[in-house]
Structure 1
Amino acid sequence: MDTVNTHFKWEEATGAAKYIADRHYEGLLEGRFYRSSCPRGRIKSVTLPTLPDGYHIFGADDVPGQNVLPIVEIDWPAFADQEVRFVGQVIYLVVGPDPDVVDELLNEIDVEYAPLEPAYTIEQSKALKDGAIHADDNVLDTHRLHKGDIEAGFAQAVTIIEETCSTGYQEHIYLETQGAVCYPQDGKVVLEGSMQCPWYVHHTMAVVLGHDNVRAIQCPTGGGFGGKEDFPDVLAAPLAVAVEKLQQPIRLIFERGEDIATTSKRHPVTFHYKTGVDADGKIVAMDIKFDVNAGAYLSLSGIVLQRSITTATNVYDIPNVRVEGHAWATNTVPTGAFRGFGSPQNCFCMETHIHHVAKQLGADPVAFKQRHFLTAESHSLTGAEIFGDLVLDEMLHKVLDMSDYHRKFNEYTRQDGSQAERRKGIGLAVFQHGCGFAGDLEDTLVRAKVKLLKGSDGNVQILASNTDIGQGLSLTFRKIVADTLGKPLEEIQLAVPDTGIVPDSGPTVASRSILIVGYILEKAAKKLKKSWVEGEDQEITEVYCKPDYHQWDQNTYQGNAYQATSYGANVVEVEVDMATGEADITGAWAVYDIGRAIDSTIFRGQIEGGLVQALGYGSCEKLEMTQDGVFAQRSMADYVIPTALDVPAIGSDLVDNPYPYGPNGAKGGGELTHNGGAAAFVAAVENAIGVPLSSIPVTPEKVCEALARRSDEPSAQQREGQVKGSGPGNGAPIDED
C-alpha cells in the first residue's frame, strides 16, 4: 500500500515529489479541451476536421452513461450538447500523441451558434433578457430565515440605517494548475490527479461511464483552497469517457492562463442591510437581503448560500432578524468552492456594516461590537443554545493588547488628513466559522468512515480519503493516532487517498477533516489500543455519528447549523499614501479559538497563509468580467496577489478552549483564518483616510475615488448629527460603493 511520505513534506521541500505533470505513463496521449467561444446560445451546427491516425475527438454523443457532472444537482453537462452557457464551457476533448497537432485540430473545429443575450451580473440576470437561463426566473437556489419578530424589532427602533456591501470574484492561484492523467488498469478506469476529494471524482467517472469500475487517486497536490474540490470533475468526466474507449492513458494539464480563465472562483455577493437601533444604542432588528452570482450552473452555490444564511449575523446576538438569500444564474464560469465557502464574504460585509453603524451612532466601534457579542445565554441565528464556552471577550482583549489597538486608534483618528502625505490606520474584525457541513449532512449524507490497519510488526496504517493539500493533514492525522495509541510517530503511516483502498471519509472541505474525521480516527485508535494484540494483524473501522446535542431541522432551518464553531479576531495596521491611494500593511495580529491545536506549528502556517490570502482578497486581488463575458485578468502578471514584501510579521496566539467532541479537544481552523483579514484591512484604511468603504477589493484606485468624493460628502460630525437626530426610517445611508 502506498503511503504519504512519512518524513513530513520532505519530498515537497526537496523537489522530489512527483506531481501529476511530473509522472511518466507508457503510451501517453495529450488532451486539450475545445471550449465555447459563445457566452450563451444554442449550438446550430458543428464542423469537425479530418483526423490523422492516432487522434480522436470526444463529445456528448460518446458518453456511455449520463452526460452530467453530478455536483449536488444534475444540471452541468460534462460536454455541452445543445446549448452553451459561458465562454470556456467544454464541448469536445481532442486527444493525440503530439500536443502541437492537437492544437492544430482544435483550431480546425468550427461551431456555429444561435446566440442569445447573455447575463454577466446579478442585475442582468434579474432582467431575464431573451428569457431565463435557468427555470423561469434564473434563481438557482434560495433560502429564508427568521429569528424573533422583525416587525416588533423595528417598532422599537429610533434609528434605522441601511447599507449595501459587496465583494467580488477571487481566484485561487494555487501553485499547481488543474491536471489529471487517466488510464486503464485491471479492468478499471483509473484517474490520478491534483485533487481534494477523490470520492467526488470516483462518483463522477462512475456516472458518466454508467458503471463503478473506476478508481481515483490523489497525487501530491500543489494547493487547492477549494479550487480542487468540485472542479477536478470537469477534467475527470471527459477523460474517463475517452480512456474507456481508447484504453490508453491521456493527460490533461491546464496552462496558467487557461486555469484562470475557466476554473471556478469565489462567489461575488451583494448584501443589503436594514438595521434598527433603539434609544439605548442597541441593535434590535436587522433585515438582510443578499444575492450570490452563481455562474452558469448550480455547482456548490446552494451550499455556499446555506452557510451565508445560517451565519449571516456573524458573532453578534441580534434579537430580531430576517435573512433572505438568492443564488442567481449568469453566463459566467460557475462559481464554486473557495476557502471559507461564503463566510469571508459574509464576515466582510457584516463586520463592515456593524463598524459603520457604530460610527454613525458616534460609538466606539470596538465597544459597540463587544456589546453585541453572543454570550452563553444567547441563542444562535438558527435558534440553538450556545454549546460550550464562548471566549470572544478573551480573544478580543488578547488581540487588542498585542496590537496596542486603543492607543493607535485614538492617535490615528486625530491625524490631520489635509496635510499628511501618509496616514496611518488600524482596524479590527471579529468572526466565526462553522465546522463541518451545514445542518445534519454529516450524519445523513456523508457518514464519514475510516479504518486503522495494524500489522503484525505493530505499525499502523490510517485509511481515510481526506487529502493533504498543503494544510498538514498528513502529519496531524498521524499525530492524533500516535498520541492516542502512545506509539512513536514513525510507526503510524497514512495511506495515499486512493478510492481503490481507502473508505469514503468525506471530502477535504468545510473545516471538517480534524473535527469530524480526526475525531473518529481518535475513537478508532482508542478501540485499537483497548483490543491491541501483539504480533497479530488487526483492523478497526469507525463511522461518524453526530453528538446528541447536535439537532437540526432542514425544513425550518432551526437547530445547530454546525456541530461546532471556531472563532477569531484580527487587527490590521496600514499606512496609506494619500496621493496614490496605496496602502502598505505595517502590522497584523490574530487570535483564534480552535478548541485545542493538534500541532501549533502546523496551525501557525494556516494562520499566516489564511490571513495573507484574506488580505489579498481585501486589498489587491481584482478579477473583473469584461463585456465579452471573460475575465480581464488572465495571468499572474495582472491578477495581483500579496508577496512576502507586502505583509509584515504576523503576531498570533490561540485561546485554549477544548471541545469535547474533537480529537484532543480540537475544532476546525483552516478556513477560519481567511474570514477576518479583509474586514480588518478595510477598517484600517477607513481609519487612515476618514472615508467609509463598503466593497472589496479596496485597491489604490478605489481609495483615490473615495478621497475625491470626500469633499462632496457631509463631514463625519454632520453625518453623526443626522443619525442621532433621526427617527425610525430616517437614518442617513452610508457609502454604498
Structure 2
Amino acid sequence: MDTVNTRFKWAEATGEAKYIADRHYEGLLEGRFYRSSCPRGVIKSAKIPAMPEGYHLFGANDVPGQNVLPIVEIDWPAFADKEVRFVGQVIYLLVGPDPDVIEQLLQQIEVEYSPLTPAYTIEQSKALIDGAIHSTDNVLDTHTLTKGDIDEGFAQAVTIIEETCSTGYQEHIYLETQGCVGYPKDGKIVIEGSMQCPFYVHHCMAVLLGHDRVRAIQCPTGGGFGGKEDYPDVLAGPLAVAVERLQRPVRIVLERSEDIQFTSKRHPVEFHYRTGIDADGNIVAMELNFDINSGAYLSLSGIVLQRSLTTATNVYDIPNVRVEGHAWTTNTVPTGAFRGFGSPQNCFCMETHMNHIAKKVGEDPAAFKQRHFLKSDSTTLTGSKIFGDLVLDEMLERVLSLSEYNTKTTLNAFQPDSGEHCQGSGKRKGIGLAVFQHGCGFAGDLEDTLVRARVRLNKLADGTIRILASNTDIGQGLSLTFRKIVAETMNRPLETIQLAVPDTGIVPDSGPTVASRSILIVGYLIEKAAQKLQLNWQEGEPQEIEEIYRKPDYHVWDQTTYQGNAYQATSYGANVVEVEVDMATGETDIIGAWAVYDIGRAIDPVVFKGQIDGGLVQALGYGSCEKMELNKDGVFAQKTMADYVIPTSLDVPAIGSDLVDNPYPFGPNGAKGGGELTHNGGAAAFAAAVEAAIGKTLSSIPVTPEKICQALYAGETAEAGKAVEGGKAK
C-alpha cells in the first residue's frame, strides 16, 4: 500500500513530487483529442487519413460499453458520433509515440457537419431557433421553492424594488493542467491522474468498458478548485478505451490553452429580484427568478441549481419567499464544479441587492443586513429549524472592528464628491461588506441515500495506523488534517499515522472531494473509527476498523418538496474589502481585506489560514479582473494566461482574519467544512467597496476598470452624443 509522504507537502515544496507529466512509463504513447470545430450540428461524414504504423484513432464505434460520461445524468457522450453541441467537443482520440506526428495527423482529419443555429446565451437558448438543443424547451433542470405566503407578503409592502444581478464565467487556473495516464496491470485498466474524485473516474471507466476490472489512482495534484471533479472523466473515458485495445500505457496532458478553452467553467448566473419593503423598512417579501447557463450538457448543473435554490436568501430571515430556478442548455463548454458551487454567484447577487435596498431606504448596509440576519430560533428558507447556535452578530462585530469599517465609512463620506464630473477628483476610497454562508456536504439527504461514505483504519503490528479513504489532497491540506484527527483522538505521535494514497483498488469509497464534505463528513467518520480503535487496542496485533456514515437524527429532508435541512451543517463568513479607485481611469487598488469565519472549530488554524488567504484572493479575482467572454463563434476570447488575468501577489494586501469558535457536535473536534466558504464573499465585498467609492451602483461582475468608467461616464457620454446630434440637425 502506497502512502502519502508524512512530511507535509515536502515533496511538493522541494520539487520532488512526481506529477503526471513528470512520470515515466515503459512504452508510453501520447494521446491527443480531435475536437469539433462546429458549435452545433449533425455529423454528416468524416475523412480519416491513413494511420502510420504505431498510430491509432479511437471514436464512438470503438467503445465496448456505453459511449457516455456518467456525470449525474447519462447525456454527454464520451465521443461525439451523431451530433456536436459545442466547439471543442471530443470526436476522436489519436494515439501514437510522437506528439508532432499526432498533430500532423489531426490536421488531416476532415469532419463535415450539417450546421444548426447555435445558442450561446440564455436568451438565445429560450428562443429555440432551429429547435431545441435538449428536450423540447432547452431546460435541463428546474425547481421552485416557497416559504410563507408571497402574496400576503407583498400585500404588506409599501415599496417594491426590482433588480437584476448577474455573474459571468470563471476559469480555475489550477497550476497543473488536466492530465492522466492509463495502463494495463494485473488484468485491470488502471488510470493515474490529476483528479479530485478517484471513484468518479473508476465508475466512468467501468461504464465505457462494460466491466469493473478497472482502477483509478490519484497522483499529486496541482490544484483543482472543482475543475478536477467532473472533467477528468472527459479524459479518462476515451483513454480507457484506447488502453484496453492497445494494452499499452497512454497519456493525455492538456496544453494550457487547450485547458482554458475546453474544460468546465463556473456557471454564469442571472438573478432577478422583486422585493417588498414595509413601512418600517423591513423586507416582507422577496420573489427570485434565476437562470444558469449549463452549457451543452447537464454535468453538475442540477446540483448547482439545487444549492442556489436552497440558499437563495443567503443569511437573511425573510418571511415570505418564492424562488424559481432554471438550468438552460447552450452551445458552449459544459459548466461544472467550481469552489463554492453556485454560492459565490448567489452571494454576489443577494449581497448586492441587499446593499442597494439599504441605500434606497436610507440605511447603512451593515446595519440593514444585521437587522435581517437569521437568528438561532429562525426558520430557514427550506422550512427547518436552525441546528446549534448562530454567531452572525459576533462575526459581524469582529470583522467591522478588524477593518475599522464604521470609522472608515464615516471618513469616506467627507471625500470630494464623485458627482457627474469627477475627472478632477483623483482617487476615492470605499469599503464594502459581505456576509455569507456555505452548506457543508451534499445537498439534502444525498450523503445518506447516495454516497454513504465509509472509511477504514488499518493498524499494523508495530502500532502504525493507516487511514484509508478516497478523499484527495489537492492543495487544501487534507493529508495533514486527516492524520491530525487520528493522532489527537488517540493521543499518538503524528509520525505514526499514515494516509493511504487514494487508490480505488485499495481504499473504500468515502465519496468525492467536493462540497466541503471531507472534514465534516469523512473527518468525523475517521474520528469515530479512531475512538473505536482506541477502545479496542490490542498491542502487537494488526487490527482494522471500518466506519460507515449515518446522518444525524435531526437532519431530515424531503427531496420532493425541498423541505427540511438542506445541508447537515452550515458554515458562515463575513468579508470586508477596502479599495481606492482612480476616478479618471477606473483602476482599483485593494488596500485592505478582512475575513471572519465560523467553521465550528478549526482542526489546524494554520492550514485553514492558507484556505482563507487563497480563497479570498480567488474571490477578489472573480470580482475584479477575471473576465471570460465568448466571441461570435462560441469560443472564449481568453485562451492563455496572458488573456485571462488573475490577481498577483502585488494586487492583494495582507489579509486580516479571525475565527469565531462555535463547535459542531457531529464534526471532528467540533469542525465544519470551510474550504469553499472562503471563496463566497470576496467578490461581493469588493463590488460593494467600489460602489461606495464611486457613488454608482454596479450589478454584475467582474467590476473591471472599463465597467467602472462606464458607470461613471455613461450619462455624460449619452448627453454629449445628444448635443452633437442636435448640432448636426441645426
Three-state SS of the structure 1 residue aligned to 2:317 is coil
1:484 to 479, 484, 489: 489
Three-state SS of the structure 2 residue aligned to 1:302 is helix
CA distance in 2, matches of 1:412, 1:437: 42
- How far is 1:363 from its partner? 1.0
CA distance in 2, matches of 1:451, 1:711: 67
1:566 to 562, 571, 578: 571
Equivalent AA in structure 2 for residue 665 of structure 1: G
CA distance in 2, matches of 1:415, 1:212: 67
Write the mapping of 1:264-275 to structure 2, written as runs, cut at 5 A.
264-275=264-275
1:598 to 587, 594, 603: 603
Determine whether 1:459 maps to 2:477.
no
> Residue 440 of structure 1 contacts residue 551 of structure 1 at CA under 8 Å; is this kept in 2?
yes
Three-state SS of the structure 2 residue aligned to 1:411 is helix
Three-state SS of the structure 1 residue aligned to 2:592 is strand
Write the mapping of 1:31-110 to structure 2, written as runs, cut at 5 A.
31-110=31-110
CA distance in 2, matches of 1:410, 1:309: 36
Equivalent AA in structure 1 for residue 331 of structure 2: N
- How far is 1:182 from its partner? 0.4
Equivalent AA in structure 1 for residue 302 of structure 2: G
Equivalent residue number for residue 721 of structure 1 = none
- How far is 1:709 from its partner? 2.5
Equivalent residue number for residue 238 of structure 2 = 238
Q: TM-score, normalised by structure 1?
A: 0.96
Equivalent residue number for residue 363 of structure 1 = 363
Determine whether 1:700 maps to 2:691.
no
CA RMSD of aligned residues (A): 0.9
Question: Could you report, residue by residue, the CA deviation over 1:517-547 in whole angstroms, capped at 9, with x for unpaired residues?
Answer: 0000000000000000000000000000000
Equivalent AA in structure 2 for residue 709 of structure 1: A
Equivalent residue number for residue 339 of structure 1 = 339
Question: Could you report, residue by residue, the CA deviation over 1:548-590 in whole angstroms, capped at 9, with x for unpaired residues?
Answer: 0000000000000000000000000000001110010000000
Equivalent residue number for residue 183 of structure 1 = 183
CA distance in 2, matches of 1:403, 1:149: 39
Equivalent residue number for residue 414 of structure 1 = 414
Three-state SS of the structure 2 residue aligned to 1:31 is strand
Q: TM-score, normalised by structure 2?
A: 0.97
Equivalent residue number for residue 722 of structure 1 = none
CA distance in 1, matches of 2:217, 2:715: 56
Three-state SS of the structure 2 residue aligned to 1:133 is coil
CA distance in 2, matches of 1:523, 1:414: 57
Question: Could you report, residue by residue, the CA deviation over 1:268-326 in whole angstroms, capped at 9, with x for unpaired residues?
Answer: 00000000000010000000000000000000000000000000000000000000000
Equivalent residue number for residue 228 of structure 1 = 228
Number of equivalences: 714
Three-state SS of the structure 2 residue aligned to 1:587 is strand
Equivalent AA in structure 1 for residue 118 of structure 2: P
Equivalent residue number for residue 288 of structure 1 = 288
Equivalent AA in structure 2 for residue 356 of structure 1: H
CA distance in 2, matches of 1:482, 1:447: 25
Equivalent residue number for residue 732 of structure 1 = none
Determine whether 1:627 maps to 2:632.
yes
1:526 to 531, 535, 555: 531
- How far is 1:420 from its partner? 2.0
Three-state SS of the structure 2 residue aligned to 1:705 is helix
Write the mapping of 1:500-649 to structure 2, written as runs, cut at 5 A.
500-649=505-654
Equivalent AA in structure 2 for residue 539 of structure 1: E
Equivalent residue number for residue 318 of structure 2 = 318
Determine whether 1:443 maps to 2:448.
yes
Three-state SS of the structure 1 residue aligned to 2:394 is helix
- How far is 1:364 from its partner? 1.2
Equivalent AA in structure 2 for residue 174 of structure 1: Y
CA distance in 1, matches of 2:19, 2:413: 50
CA distance in 1, matches of 2:395, 2:364: 18
Question: Could you report, residue by residue, the CA deviation over 1:625-662 in whole angstroms, capped at 9, with x for unpaired residues?
Answer: 00000000000001000000000000000000000000
Equivalent residue number for residue 173 of structure 1 = 173
Question: Could you report, residue by residue, the CA deviation over 1:207-240 in whole angstroms, capped at 9, with x for unpaired residues?
Answer: 0000000000000000000000000000000000
Equivalent AA in structure 1 for residue 75 of structure 2: D
CA distance in 2, matches of 1:215, 1:710: 61
2:686 to 660, 681, 686: 681
> Residue 691 of structure 1 contacts residue 710 of structure 1 at CA under 8 Å; is this kept in 2?
no
CA distance in 2, matches of 1:713, 1:687: 24
Question: Could you report, residue by residue, the CA deviation over 1:443-501 in whole angstroms, capped at 9, with x for unpaired residues?
Answer: 00000000000000000000000000000000000000111111000000000000000
Determine whether 1:663 maps to 2:661.
no
CA distance in 2, matches of 1:143, 1:346: 16
Question: Could you report, residue by residue, the CA deviation over 1:16-58 in whole angstroms, capped at 9, with x for unpaired residues?
Answer: 0000100000000010000000000000001100011110000
Determine whether 1:122 maps to 2:122.
yes
CA distance in 2, matches of 1:710, 1:224: 43
- How far is 1:667 from its partner? 0.1
Question: Could you report, residue by residue, the CA deviation over 1:353-379 in whole angstroms, capped at 9, with x for unpaired residues?
Answer: 000000011111111000000001210
Q: Which runs of 5+ in 1 are unaligned?
A: 715-737
Equivalent AA in structure 1 for residue 344 of structure 2: P
Three-state SS of the structure 2 residue aligned to 1:112 is strand
- How far is 1:413 from its partner? 2.7
CA distance in 2, matches of 1:520, 1:331: 42
Equivalent residue number for residue 724 of structure 2 = none
Question: Could you report, residue by residue, the CA deviation over 1:149-190 in whole angstroms, capped at 9, with x for unpaired residues?
Answer: 000000000000000000000000000000000000010000
> Residue 180 of structure 1 contacts residue 252 of structure 1 at CA under 8 Å; is this kept in 2?
yes
> Residue 296 of structure 1 contacts residue 334 of structure 1 at CA under 8 Å; is this kept in 2?
yes
CA distance in 1, matches of 2:667, 2:302: 27
Q: Which aligned runs of 4 or more in structure 1 are off by greater than 6 angstroms?
A: none
Equivalent AA in structure 2 for residue 608 of structure 1: D
- How far is 1:711 from its partner? 5.2
Equivalent AA in structure 1 for residue 37 of structure 2: S
Equivalent AA in structure 2 for residue 629 of structure 1: G
CA distance in 1, matches of 2:326, 2:441: 22
CA distance in 2, matches of 1:276, 1:302: 29
CA distance in 2, matches of 1:601, 1:455: 30
CA distance in 1, matches of 2:333, 2:607: 34
- How far is 1:710 from its partner? 5.0
Q: Which runs of 5+ in 2 are unaligned?
A: 720-730
CA distance in 2, matches of 1:552, 1:72: 20
Three-state SS of the structure 2 residue aligned to 1:535 is coil
- How far is 1:687 from its partner? 0.4
Equivalent AA in structure 2 for residue 508 of structure 1: T
CA distance in 2, matches of 1:711, 1:277: 32
Equivalent residue number for residue 297 of structure 1 = 297
CA distance in 2, matches of 1:605, 1:209: 40
CA distance in 2, matches of 1:93, 1:713: 53
> CA, structure 1 residues 491+437, in 2 after alignment: closer, same or farther (shift >3 Å)?
same
Equivalent residue number for residue 726 of structure 2 = none
> Residue 413 of structure 1 contacts residue 687 of structure 1 at CA under 8 Å; is this kept in 2?
no
Three-state SS of the structure 2 residue aligned to 1:706 is helix
> Residue 413 of structure 1 contacts residue 688 of structure 1 at CA under 8 Å; is this kept in 2?
no
Equivalent residue number for residue 728 of structure 2 = none
Equivalent AA in structure 1 for residue 159 of structure 2: T
- How far is 1:414 from its partner? 3.0
Question: Could you report, residue by residue, the CA deviation over 1:392-424 in whole angstroms, capped at 9, with x for unpaired residues?
Answer: 000000000000000111221332123421000
Three-state SS of the structure 1 residue aligned to 2:425 is coil
CA distance in 2, matches of 1:183, 1:97: 15
Determine whether 1:473 maps to 2:478.
yes
- How far is 1:712 from its partner? 8.5
Equivalent residue number for residue 423 of structure 1 = 428
Three-state SS of the structure 2 residue aligned to 1:45 is strand
CA distance in 1, matches of 2:266, 2:323: 21
Percent of counterpart pairs with the same letter?
79
Equivalent AA in structure 2 for residue 568 of structure 1: G
Equivalent residue number for residue 720 of structure 1 = none
Equivalent AA in structure 1 for residue 34 of structure 2: Y
Three-state SS of the structure 2 residue aligned to 1:228 is coil
